Amino acid sequence: MGLVPFVVLRIVQQDWPTAILNVTAVLFTSSLFLHVLLTKNTRHAKAGLAFLTILVMVATIHLKGANNVAWVYPALSTTFYLLPPVIAATVSLVSLSIVVVLIYESVNAVFLLTFLISAAATLAFLYAFSSRTQKQALFLEKLATSDSLTEVGNRRSLEEKLLEITQRIGRAPEQTSSLIIFDIDHFKRINDTHGHGCGDIVLRDFAKAIESRIRATDYLYRIGGEEFVLVLENTSLFKASSLAKELTKAIEHAKWSKADLSITTSAGVAQYNGNESSYQWLERADNALYKAKQNGRNQSVSCEHSMSN
């Protein structure tokens, strides 16, 4: 919408090259907004809009001359807003080099030096601000999606992952995904006997023991107390059950911070059936976990077979 008045102005002035440039920018920007509206995906739109901003800025200076170098500053700001800091800095340096080449012969040394100093200062500030903002955003995202004690995912991030999986399998039913719920057996007894500090250490060590035995594409979450959920994408019930058995045995024979500690875990396994919500999927695994506890603990149970694995 900000470009529309310039389109009208250029048409009135019969400045057809610039008018065509502005019309192209308006149409391309509109198509990007339409893409975001339909797909809900902003990643490609950000890159496209950043490229368009730089292109229009360089083309305007090429067509209208050095008097339009003021467009460099909003273009740099937009680029750093839309792109990661390192990529934005690279794109900005390249575009500034092109601008210098375009205006070099038409301006005096004082004008060129003033432009270079102001543009470099703007770029440095934008890079510092963008880098700091990105670090803060990553930090806040980690706080919102991870468990502070064990540093694995929390319930919120689990819900997001399960929703993502159920929606994907809804579009591609041939895919499979399973999950395992773990519950540390008699954890209250550990807290009562050795103290809550020891219990916290056990939770951290338990999470590390699980993470050290799973794939990089598997995701572990702590959903409260001594309960953990392991999400296994592209994994059948048979493979998930085998892994659950392996992990329960590994926990049973693991060494802990206190020599007299003996830790075991019970597990419930469920494969997504393609026709349920993420909460129903999780509930079936939880029911299997309950059966594992009823059967004597220190074992895994498949929710579909209702028997120890």
- Match 């540093």 to its residue by tokens: 151
Annotate 156-186 with b (16+ C-beta within 10 A) or e (fewer).
ebbbebbeebbeebeeeeeebbbbbbbbbbe
Q: Rounded to whole angstroms, how far apart are CA atoms 251 and 205? A: 10
The amino acid sitting at 36 is V
Annotation says 226 is catalytic: yes
Rounded Cα–Cα distance for residues 261 and 247 (Å)? 18
Distance CA 274, CA 84 (A): 37
How many angstroms separate the CA atoms of 45 and 43, rounded?
5
- Out of 159, 164, 226, 246, pick the active-site residue: 226
> What span, in angstroms and rounded, lies between the C-alpha atoms of 126 and 274?
47
Exposure class string for 101-135: b at 16+ Cβ within 10 A, else e: ebbeeebeeeebeebeeebeebbeebbeebbeeee
Q: Strands (DSSP E) along 109-255, which ranges?
A: 177-184, 219-224, 227-233
* Cβ proximity of 79 and 54 under 8 Å: yes
Helix (H, G, I), strand (E, B) or coil at 179: strand
Q: Do 155 and 225 touch, CB atoms closer than 8 A?
A: no
Amino acid at 187: F
What are the catalytic residues? 226
